Structure 1
């Protein structure tokens, strides 16, 4: 019998298919069955480093739910037309991305709602546009972070606007480039209002007064768009 094959007792003494109180672990055959692929395909994915190495216990390889999630993601991305080379590059970009704790810092944004996504859910929102280059750009911007097998987008509003722009035919690469430019202006505006408030109010008032700053920016942007529209007419 091969070292990776067959059903057997896990580290706890229970069989891999039995109910366990701790994290599930699987032998190769069971993992392949649950993922809907052949053992040969699983070995191929492992050789291509599309999944992380299993935990070794002597000659026995144990896989867990993270491996299962990755395999299901690979199948979903293949169905959407991604190549194995592209999936490998996406996996590498994610593995090199920032952890969600680094992305959010000591806590979640005060007004923006983070969104958790699987890689296939992200691909579905930006069908055909989730390339390694775009993923790396989003990770570098701090829009995305990783948390195990999930991706975390820092802002539901930004996610929805970005996907809406892509649905309108604007390439995601250009949306991300625009986002980087907007980030620079937003940082400058935040500095203006922070300095203004702190010159005339205690620091603890900064969060309370921030809606006023946001309203000014929204109104000025609306007026600026009006002016731009008139120039284009």
Structure 2
């Protein structure tokens, strides 16, 4: 504990306080010896950075609990599952840079539940660079992150239905082996139909 506190630039008393508040995970124990590693040091440096940005210890504790109980990235993506999306590794400071004061425990818990965020060891992973960039762009335009996440949940339901339609089409007229090859065609149809639907909405058409 003394070595970890010295490396993190804090006092042992502060480190004990963080442990009591469950801001850091418990150490690995061998008999009476408690072993800390780079994961604990990274968490302490993250706490220091978030405190510098104005976050409270209560808020940081809620964030830590949300991430510690979040799904890992393998569960989100599926082991070996094909994907065109590129996951992004983030620190809590990176999330604050993307979403400012809206990177609250409530919003981040909602993102974890939705499957936008996962964990990989001690790191946070966003499931899709494109979704991360779009979400942060909408927030910069003044749309609350909570509303973006709620809409994302509704879009997910529609996207699942569209994927089911395309899969049924291919399996009826081709084979399961054709799905990866024909996948870009499905995406093009959805993008074109969404573009046309937006045009109709902008013209006031039903």
Write out per-residue CA displacement over residues 88-113 of structure 1, whole angstroms, 9 at most, x where no aligned residue: 11111111111222112112542111
Write out per-residue CA displacement over residues 32-75 of structure 1, whole angstroms, 9 at most, x where no aligned residue: 22222222211111111111122334444331111101001111
In the alignment, which residue of structure 1 is the partner of 2:57?
84
In the alignment, which residue of structure 1 is the partner of 2:71?
98
How well do the aligned residues superpose, as a CA RMSD in angstroms? Answer: 1.5
1:119 corresponds to 2:109: no
In the alignment, which residue of structure 1 is the partner of 2:27?
54
Q: Is the 8 A contact 1:52 1:67 kept in 2?
A: yes
1:144 corresponds to 2:126: no
Change (3 A) 1:40 1:225: same
Q: Which has the larger radius of gyration?
A: 1
In the alignment, which residue of structure 1 is the partner of 2:147?
174
1:158 corresponds to 2:131: yes
State the TM-score, normalizing by the size of structure 2: 0.94
Report the CA distance between 1:202 and its aligned residue: 1.6
Change (3 A) 1:109 1:159: farther
> Using the alignment, how far apart are the partners of 1:70 and 1:145 within structure 2?
16
> Using the alignment, how far apart are the partners of 2:136 and 2:115 within structure 1?
17
Q: How does 1:1-233 map to 2 (within 5 A)?
A: 28-107=1-80, 109-231=82-204
Write out per-residue CA displacement over residues 67-90 of structure 1, whole angstroms, 9 at most, x where no aligned residue: 101001111111121110011111
Write out per-residue CA displacement over residues 5-37 of structure 1, whole angstroms, 9 at most, x where no aligned residue: xxxxxxxxxxxxxxxxxxxxxxx2332222222
Number of residue pairs the alignment of both structures matches: 205
Partner of 2:102, secondary structure, is coil
In the alignment, which residue of structure 2 is the partner of 1:10?
none
Report the CA distance between 1:125 and its aligned residue: 1.4
Partner of 1:145, secondary structure, is strand
User: Which region of structure 1 is more displaced relative to structure 2, 102-111 or 128-137?
Assistant: 102-111
Q: Which has the higher contact order (CA 8 A, sep 6+)?
A: 2
State the TM-score, normalizing by the size of structure 1: 0.83
What 5-or-longer segments of structure 2 have no aligned partner?
Answer: none
What 5-or-longer segments of structure 1 have no aligned partner?
Answer: 1-27
> Using the alignment, how far apart are the partners of 2:162 and 2:77 within structure 1?
21
